[in-house]
């Protein structure tokens, strides 16, 4: 998993589903901050991007 911790200008785009899927576990849940290695601010931005992508059907809410 690519860690963005050293890059303060990290931006998670809700349209970039390949990047967002790396932060979702096999059950469809967002990985915790301990596994992602992101800062708290970046983790919140990631969660918002994933939720937006789910809302417009780019990502599933649950996996198969």
Cβ–Cβ under 8 Å, residues 48 and 56 = no
Global pTM reads 0.85
Secondary element (H or E) of residue 19: helix 17-21
- Give the pLDDT score at 63: 79
Tens digits of residue pLDDT in 1-50: 455 666 767 789 999 999 999 999 999 999 999 999 898 999 999 999 99
Residue at 61 is within a domain? no
- Give the pLDDT score at 10: 76
Residue at 46 is within a domain? yes
Cβ–Cβ under 8 Å, residues 52 and 17 = no
Residue at 64 is within a domain? no
Residue at 38 is within a domain? yes
Residue at 51 is within a domain? yes
Residue at 44 is within a domain? yes
Residue at 45 is within a domain? yes
- Give the pLDDT score at 2: 53
CB atoms within 10 A of CB 33: 15
How many separate domains does the chain show? Answer: 1
Query: Cβ contacts of residue 43 below 8 Å, gap of 6+?
Result: 33, 36
Secondary element (H or E) of residue 34: helix 33-36
Domain extent, residue 37, equals: 17-55
The mean pLDDT value for 45-58 works out to 96
């Amino acid at each position: 998993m690519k860690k963005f911790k050293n890059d303060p200008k990290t931006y998670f785009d809700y349209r970039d589903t390949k990047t967002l899927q790396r932060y979702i576990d096999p059950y469809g849940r967002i990985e915790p901050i301990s596994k992602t290695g992101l800062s708290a601010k970046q983790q919140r931005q990631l969660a918002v991007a994933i939720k937006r992508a789910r809302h417009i059907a780019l990502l599933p809410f649950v996996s198969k």
